[in-house]
Structure 1
Amino acid sequence: MTTTSRTIRFKLNGEQVKADISTHENLVEVLHRDFGLFGARESCGQGLCGCCTVLVNGSAVSGCLFLAAFADGTEVKTIEGSASGNQLSPVQEAFIEQGAFQCGFCTPGMILMSEQLLEANPDPSED
């Protein structure tokens, strides 16, 4: 099997970055290896559990299924990009206030999906 390499450039948590990737690598692998970001974790490997969730151009994707090559030219946000310095995001604060944590493994994905929802609809209903 021949592995093809290429360089991708994208905005990661507000900063322009680049990475040399193999075309078969998923986004979570590149975030771990090249940027030391471990908030998105591969668990089920099928995109079902939400542990690998990242936002790409504002939409939640399963980073374990999203080929890193597709991140070229996009804006990627991980849980590490939610806080501003030492100031947690309003969604992170709300999770803490409500005790909305289980083991913490999938919590980053839930926070990012909540941020996506509130960006699209600042006043969602329970429906």
Structure 2
Amino acid sequence: MNKNDEQEVRRKLRILAHVDETKNVSKTCRYWGISRDTFYRWKKEYKTQGEVGLINSKPCPENPSIRVAFVIEEKILYLSLEYLMLRYWCPFTILKRKSFKYSARDDLSLAAQNFICSLLKTIT
């Protein structure tokens, strides 16, 4: 258990202990900013598994079949480094500089997607 896990477990134990002091779940949940469902889920996990049940776990295991291909990942990293100023420049000037045709009514995000797709194609 790393330091962050220990802190989170201590926080959850304080919340569970706070209910024992106040005898009011709703007020405790409001005070700590959590939902009652979350509180009861923590309480159930603590009863069944102890402190180990209070450790935050990933909601689902990593699925390699839905991961972006390594080649595309490399291209995206290259583009983000090559065009670092992309997010600071005016998108219209960038699109104009790259000779994209668009009108003022066009969706700018669609034009930006086309721009990035064309950049990906030029790298391959």
TM-score, normalised to structure 1, is 0.27
Higher helix share: 2
Larger Rg: 2
